[in-house]
Structure 1
């Protein structure tokens, strides 16, 4: 078997398309009306058709389970965070930095699915170097192999 993509169920397909296009800069690769696939390999499905597919009433579809997320990385994390402030998103939490140095922010889409936007680990390594960390210290902090960190830093 080959995994294709995650699919999330949404109440308002048009509102969700607008959110993913305008807030997260996603491109649609296929729009079948009740099912929309985005270039970053995830799809949305209208709740009305989903209930037919699984033979369950709409009352059995629950949102805001807080048990999964769609994960995105931003080429310019700081600019993306500033842009999110103008989009009216409901935050799960503000920007936080984890022990390994990566900064992330999580918020909800229109149907209360969690969306995470993270700083790429390549950019984390480059930021840590710009802050004066040695290669050895970056390897220790990020837990990435030295070869990977060196590769990330080569393109600066």
Structure 2
């Protein structure tokens, strides 16, 4: 068995494709009208065809029960880009207790999108600021081996 990606139902395919291209920079790798394949294993399906596939009359798009999770190497640049986009924030950018910067917002159908700082960047940032490997592990609440693994990359 192999996990192949995540499919989300969308109410307007053109608007959703534009959102994922403009906001997240994802390219379309296959466009079959009612079904669109994006980079990184994300699939968009029109709401009408999705209802037919699952044999349901009603589909709830906005439910806050899951999110699409992305990591970003240059969080500062991404946040500057995001400020130019017409989005609805779940929360403004914040820093989790382990030091990872993150922002969450909705796509055009109220699916949650999380963009977090790539965790290796957090490790390197702490080390560059003078923290030891041990201090970094304590701060990030992870084993020291986890820190050493990222420093070897």
Tell me which stretches of 4 or more aligned residues in structure 1 moved more than 4 Å.
none
5+ residue gaps, structure 2, are none
2-structure distance, mates of 1:152, 1:31? 37
The normalised TM-score by structure 1 is 0.92
* Segment of structure 1 superposing worse, 114-123 or 141-150: 141-150
Counterpart residue number, 2:5? 5
Match of 2:100 in 1: 102
SS at match of 2:5: coil
Q: Find the counterpart in structure 1 of residue 120 from structure 2.
A: 122
| 1:31 is aligned to 2:31 | yes
* Contact 2:5 2:40 (C-alpha < 8 Å) held by counterparts: no
- State the superposition RMSD in angstroms: 1.3
Residue in 1 aligned with 2:84?
86
Counterpart position of 1:47? 47
Deviation at 1:154, TM superposition (A): 4.2
How many positions carry a matched residue from both structures?
A: 153
Residue number in structure 2 paired with 1:140:
138
Distance in 1, matches of 2:84 and 2:4, equals: 33
Gaps of 5+ in 1: none
Q: How big is each residue's C-alpha offset from its partner over 1:73-130, in whole Å with a ceiling of 9 and x where there is no partner?
A: 1120111011101001100001111111111000000000000000011000111122
- Among 83, 102, 109, the alignment partner of 1:111 is 109
Select the residue among 58, 63, 66 that pairs with 1:65: 63
Alignment match of 2:148 (pick from 138, 145, 150): 150
Return the offset for 1:146: 2.4
Note the C-alpha offset of 1:148: 3.2
CA distance in structure 2 between the partners assigned to 1:64 and 1:125 by the alignment: 34
